[in-house]
Amino acid sequence: MLWVCMTSDFFLPEADPWRDDAWDMIRMRPDVIFFLLTKRPQRVSACLPEDWGNGWENVFFHVACENQIRAEERIPFLLSLPFRHKGVFCTPLLGPISLRFQAHLQWMRGL
């Protein structure tokens, strides 16, 4: 298991020049689980490789939510993105967070 860019962000604009090389390495290592964490889920769709489809089995994607405002902003992106494994990291926890907000509940009703 590898945590990718845990002290940075895999979806930073500054990562654009080398991200394709990272995707190539991830693609070549289906035996390794890669954990991606971002505060920029709005950039993710434009940064996925062409052969992504519904996601790769070895990539776990998480959004960081440090408070309720960020949770309500980022979780809808998380839910809309094509990843097989999704999660929420409440870090750094700067305030209370409820994951039972309206956008999340509307998405759940659609299942």
- Rounded distance, CA 1 to CA 58, Å? 9
pLDDT per position as a tens digit, 19-38: 999 999 999 999 999 999 99
Confidence of residue 41 (pLDDT cuts 50, 70, 90): very high
The first and second tokens of residue 69, run together, are: 């405002």
* pTM of the complete model: 0.85
- Rounded distance, CA 47 to CA 11, Å? 7
**DSSP string of 33-84?**
-EEEEES-GGGHHHHS-TT-TT--TTEEEEEE--SHHHHHHHHHHHHHS--S
- Per the model's pLDDT, the better-predicted residue between 37 and 6 turns out to be 37
Confidence of residue 91 (pLDDT cuts 50, 70, 90): confident
The first and second tokens of residue 21, run together, are: 């090389």
Counting every residue, how long is the chain? 111
The first and second tokens of residue 2, run together, are: 């590898």
Residues 47/13, Cβ–Cβ less than 8 Å? no
Would the pLDDT of 66 be above 90?
A: yes
